[in-house]
Structure 1
């Protein structure tokens, strides 16, 4: 009996010794989604011990992030909410949303002082990027719910990138623009004549006040490949647990988080420390079933 016990213990210890860590490849866009991860990334870089190996990649374009996901070069990717549904359809349902990580980050800015309500946008031109994506869908919904026809009552001048909108806003007086954080903070810091005229998250919430089925303005989600979820459920669970801790850290310690955001070259410290409180970084875990 004693010999059998020794053999069983040896088998158990051998099994524990051969357990391999999973490699978890994570991609986030430069902006609020990556900001929420900085504490987690720093802990990994400080060689804190985890049950799995985490590799983070911060990219500047949505196209780069989606390409890495489709090519199986990424296991978990932070994406704009509307793009998640597009990719779900394009991959025949091979991805799953695992968490909501960013709520509303869109604002109406003005190089002037004529916009105080949504109704003031009627007859105006709005410069923005994000045609066919979350910015356009958000703006159209808010305008329509306020009795403004986005195709007839206003003119939307679409740019290819947020940086292009920022440059146009700074260079032209009396310009109205729709932009997300942290570009909003950058604009306010560069030109004292630019004002934050409307918070579109608050405008969205006003619409929901009398709605029996209230909705939230969701900007960013976290998706994972289904094969990764099925093969590495423990790794996904550990990642989400630590990501939530990171989000809580970022929202509770702005200065320390802004330093990390700067260290990871997401945005400069001066921008991050003002932008983080307005980025609506959040964590709401979704069921993977």
Structure 2
């Protein structure tokens, strides 16, 4: 009888500690703060190498809370009958155009150049197109205009730049930091966040959001709020302790080595925004996606039901 009572008490303790939550974590920069969570917050963590692998489980409820690009979460909401909601923004823009060409001082200097972009149809791609278009620079592939290339996998772009196989690259963190660290001749010629601020008046654009299975959000709103509190704590610790964060990222095999993590954290634009400010930022980014490919966000801006309160 005592054994049964102990097991029941233990089960309730586990549930209270958060173990019943199934958390989907993407390997790479967006997963860096999750290393602290994995060390200190009991939950069922599932690691994924890409959003396309994580999303089906989130929609089905096999994952309760996850980290996704804003457009992926919006498309899942619009096209999936509200299957996914957004609880907050946890990462802002961290994209740069990097090169060894010291003659590049502004966007106009890129005319006639071939620029390799990490991820066709992803935020770096659409933001590059948006910035060029707003500055009156064509990217139609003509020899005297900017030519955007998607022929290299994202992981191969930084090494190709360092080796001199390509001259210009659009990279998110930590790849731009990696390129600059490996070769002192590589520098950030265009800061996409600064360009976007000039064009929109907003400080930056979101890159990563905290997405929640809508059924879980409706049935367990307090657990979602508790997770948000823990995630904020994890992010603040990560920003203050980049070296220790790198050790944890390696420990939990999140796809980055500790030295790169330590160098990249100050450039990764981790933020924690909920409520109206998060919505404003997400909608500003989704409008950029819609300008070039409305289907990438499900054809429309998501309505108010997309935003967890």
Superposition TM-score, scaled by structure 1 size: 0.83
Contact 1:31 1:181 (C-alpha < 8 Å) held by counterparts? no
- When residues 232 and 174 of structure 1 are mapped into structure 2, their CA distance, relative to the original with a 3 A threshold, is closer
In structure 1, what is the equivalent of residue 72 of structure 2? Answer: 83
In structure 2, what is the equivalent of residue 185 of structure 1? Answer: 177
1:66 Cα deviation from its structure 2 partner: 1.3
The structure that is strand-richer by fraction is 1
* Mapped partners of 2:90, 2:125: distance in 1: 20
1:227 Cα deviation from its structure 2 partner: 0.5
Runs (5+) with no aligned partner, structure 2: 1-7, 276-306
1:239 Cα deviation from its structure 2 partner: 0.6
* Mapped partners of 1:65, 1:159: distance in 2: 25
1:16 Cα deviation from its structure 2 partner: 9.2
The answer to whether 1:199 aligns with 2:159 is no
1:90 Cα deviation from its structure 2 partner: 2.4
1:83 Cα deviation from its structure 2 partner: 1.2
CA RMSD of aligned residues (A): 2.3
1:45-82 Cα deviation digits (max 9, x unpaired):
xxxxxxxx511223222211113223322111101111
* Mapped partners of 2:189, 2:200: distance in 1: 20
* Mapped partners of 2:265, 2:114: distance in 1: 28
1:74-99 Cα deviation digits (max 9, x unpaired):
11110111111111122111111001
Superposition TM-score, scaled by structure 2 size: 0.78
In structure 2, what is the equivalent of residue 275 of structure 1? Answer: 264
In structure 2, what is the equivalent of residue 48 of structure 1? Answer: none
- Counterpart of 2:31 (choices 25, 30, 34) is 34
The answer to whether 1:220 aligns with 2:208 is yes
The answer to whether 1:147 aligns with 2:136 is yes
Moved over 6 A (4+): 15-18
Range moving further from structure 2, 124-133 or 252-261: 252-261
Contact 2:59 2:83 (C-alpha < 8 Å) held by counterparts? no
1:216 Cα deviation from its structure 2 partner: 3.0
The structure that is helix-richer by fraction is 2
Contact 2:39 2:248 (C-alpha < 8 Å) held by counterparts? yes
User: Which structure has the greater CA radius of gyration?
Assistant: 1
Runs (5+) with no aligned partner, structure 1: 1-14, 45-52
In structure 2, what is the equivalent of residue 65 of structure 1? Answer: 54
- When residues 125 and 63 of structure 1 are mapped into structure 2, their CA distance, relative to the original with a 3 A threshold, is same
